[in-house]
Structure formats: structure tokens, C-alpha cells
Amino acid sequence: MTSDVSNENYQRIDPQPTNPTISGYVRNLDNTPVSGVTMNFSGIGTTTTNTNGYYSKQVTSGWTGTVTPRNPVTLLRPPADPTTM
């Protein structure tokens, strides 16, 4: 606008919030990466760690749930990480 306009109303429309990503690494006690671990995100699915032990999953804004690692070979502690976005 280059000049004042009277008798008009304007509304600001914010973009929808982006969906956050939860990410992290799964490592052994000696800090070596653990690949092939299935990370279960309660109610929304899974993702698997890569060769660097890295995982990431996009969740919906406001998601509340638990991320639980599953690996048939290795005992993982802690078994779950409650997360709220």
C-alpha cells in the first residue's frame, strides 16, 4: 500500500505450522552406530536407522506419543522415549 485507505479491514493469515521432524542416533555403549534398528512412532508408523545409526521421521504438529526402538539382536535401553511435539 502506498497510501492510507479508510473503511477497509485486513486480516493476517499465518501459514499453517510445518510438521516437525524427530530425529536422533542409536549408538552402542562404545559410541558405535547401530544400523537397522526399527524406530516405532506410536500411532504413525516406523523408520529405520541407517548405517550411521541415524533416524528421522516427520510427525504432525501437536503429535504426542512414544518412540520405541526395536532390534531383534540387541537389547536397547531405554526402551522408549515419550515425546510431545
Report the pLDDT averaged over residues 77-84.
55
**pLDDT, tens only, 33-44:** 999 999 999 999
Domain ranges, ordered by start, for the chain: 21-84
Length of the chain: 85
**Secondary structure (DSSP) of 57-74:** EE--TT-EEEEEEE-SSS
Report the pLDDT averaged over residues 49-56.
96
What does the pLDDT read at residue 16?
63
Query: Is the per-residue pLDDT at 58 higher than 60?
Result: yes
* Residue 50 CB partners (closer than 8 Å, separation 6+): 35
